[in-house]
Every structure is written in C-alpha cells, then in structure tokens.
Amino acid sequence: MIISVLSGKGGTGKTTVSVNLAISLAGKDEKVLLVDADVEEPNAGLYLKPMLEESLPVSIPVPKIDRDRCDYCGECANFCQFNALAVAEGAALIFPELCHGCGGCVLVCPKDAVQEDTREIGVVEKGWADSIKFWQGRLNIGEPFAVPVTRHLKSELANSKEHTIIIDSPAGVSCPVIEAVRDSDFALLVTEPTPFGRHDLEIALKMVEHLGIPHGVVINRAGEDNKIISELCQERNVPVLLEIEFSSRLASLGSTGVPFSKVLPEWQDKFFEMYQAVKEGCSCAS
C-alpha cells in the first residue's frame, strides 16, 4: 500500500506526520519504506538520521550539436517548443536550463548533427533508519525540473511491494506534487486550523479528488479553532483521521528534531489507529 502525505502549503507538519507514521508502523513490526519525495527540500532525514548506503545519479538528456555536421538550417530551434535552442548563421546555441530533454531535436535534424548527451540534475539516495527503509530524492541547487528525480524515485517502488510505503510529497499543488502523489492508494492531507490552512486544504482536496485518490485529513496544531477545518471536512464528506493537538511538549520535542512518537509511545498507538483507518478507507473506496 502506498500512502502519500501532502499539504497545500509548506510548514504545516507534513514531514512530522510522515516521520511519526513511519516510526509508529515500524514500532508495530510493520515493514515500512519512507520515501522523501520533496526533492527540492528533502528534510525527513533530519528527523530520522538514516544511514545512506546508495547514491544513484539522475540525469536527463540534453542535446549536443556537432558543428562539423550542422548547416544551421534552424529546424531544431523551430521544433523546440521550450525555446531551448536558437540558431544563427554559423552558430547553434543550447540553453540547457530550458531543455526538457524530450529528444525531439535529435529526431528532426536533417543532418544528424544533434547528439544526445546527459546532464546530471540530482540523486536518489537509499538507506535505513533502524528498521525503517529510507529513500530520498535530491535535486541539485538551481535545477529547474524536479519531476525526473521524483519519477526515478517512484519507478523503483514496484520492487518494495511488501512494504507499506509512505511518500512525503512536496508541499503545494504543482507538477512534482502530482508526480509524487499519483498512483497512491491513499492521500493524507495535513493542515492547520487557520483560514489559510482551510484555503490550502480546499486546493489540495481538489487535486486528490481529481486524481481519484481516497483521502483523509490530519489536523496539526489542533485546538479550539478546529471547527474551521472540521466543518469543511463535513461538507466535503472527508474524514478527519487524526488531530495532533498543540502542546508545548510536542513543540519542544519538535524543535530539538526528535520525532515525538519515539518518546511518547501513546502517539505510536494513535498513528497506528490512523493507519488502520486508512487501510479501511482504501478498501471501501476500491
């Protein structure tokens, strides 16, 4: 089973939920794989402190032009819808930061002058945090395209079917988020009881509804104002699966980087209960 953890914006506690869920499942002897798919800012590792054993480069194709063959006809530039190529008399220029690596220019060049080179844009790293299997993707600083790294991470999930897979997705609603969340069996939407939290949750709800993924809500920093979220959930018929109340105990643990379920076993029970509800949510929906 694949559970994605996402939120409409950053800083709502998405990683806290992913990490504590992983710890709680491992504590109950479940096989669990945590995938940090927030490739622009992977930070689940800061809490789990995994031992990374493998590092796999992720590359995308980028064209290289053979100046001996090119006659500067301009077909390649004409074709490239991302404007990553320009051709002048005597010069063919490539702008790698705009290239999506579609390979089209290689195909359209009448002189076979375009060759495919590769450019490394990030890495996929794999390791363990105690009994939790841990993977993360990292996009190199300044690289514009996160999706190929996310895709690489996800392409290997099929080999880990015996695990419960938790995907810590990037925040917001964008191509990399959709890539991370796609094909999940369940989506946990993490939010806070504020007007902003509600607004971002509405957007995230639209996305998972559109993708057809069964889903439920986790309210982080829960308290007196929960109504603002619970009302929306009622209206939209979405279950609130867990409330993590705002307490100075949890906050101070959070600030030291210690996942609270490690020191407070009652939270492992709560997360495990949520997991059971998620499992049911999946089978009802399918």
Partner 1 sequence: MQIGVTAAGKDLESVVDSRFGRCAYFLLVDTETQEYEAVNNPGSSAGGGAGIKAAQAFLKSGAKALITGQPGPNAFKVLAAGGVKIFQAPGGKVSEVLDLYKNGELKEITTPGGPNRGHGSR
Q: Enumerate binding residues for partner 1 (CB under 8 A).
A: 74, 77, 82-84, 86-91, 93, 95, 98
**Min. distance of Cβ 260 from partner 1 in angstroms?**
43
Tokens for 84? Answer: 């990553």
- Nearer residue to partner 1 within complex by CB, 79 or 272: 79
258 binds, among partner 1, ligand SF4, none (CB under 5 to 8 A by kind): none
- Nearer residue to partner 1 within complex by CB, 32 or 92: 92
Enumerate the β-bridge partners of residue 117: 62
**Min. distance of Cβ 171 from partner 1 in angstroms?**
23
**Which residue intervals of the chain are DSSP H helices?**
14-27, 44-48, 75-79, 104-108, 147-155, 175-181, 195-211, 227-236, 248-256, 260-263, 265-285
Nearest alpha-carbon partner for 80 in 62, 65, 59, 99: 99
- Nearer residue to partner 1 within complex by CB, 98 or 251: 98
Burial class of residue 73 in the structure, from the number of CB atoms within 10 Å of its CB (0-12 exposed, 13-18 middle, 19+ buried): middle
* 3-class DSSP state of 121: strand
As a three-state string, the secondary structure of 125-180 is EEEEECCEEEEEEEECCCCCCCHHHHHHHHHCHHHHCCCEEEEECCCCCCHHHHHH
Q: How far apart are CA 256 and CA 230, in angstroms?
A: 30
188 binds, among partner 1, ligand SF4, none (CB under 5 to 8 A by kind): none
Q: What is the DSSP letter of 28?
A: T
- Nearer residue to ligand SF4 within complex by CB, 87 or 187: 87
Which residues sit at the interface with ligand SF4, rule CB under 6 A?
A: 63, 65, 70-76, 79-80, 82, 84-85, 87, 92, 99-105, 109, 111, 113-114
272 binds, among partner 1, ligand SF4, none (CB under 5 to 8 A by kind): none
Q: How far apart are CA 72 and CA 89, in angstroms?
A: 6
- Nearer residue to partner 1 within complex by CB, 109 or 218: 109
Which residues are CB-neighbours of 279 under 8 A, at least 6 positions away? Answer: 1
**Min. distance of Cβ 76 from partner 1 in angstroms?**
11
**Min. distance of Cβ 73 from partner 1 in angstroms?**
12
**Min. distance of Cβ 141 from partner 1 in angstroms?**
19
113 binds, among ligand SF4, partner 1, none (CB under 5 to 8 A by kind): ligand SF4
93 binds, among ligand SF4, partner 1, none (CB under 5 to 8 A by kind): partner 1
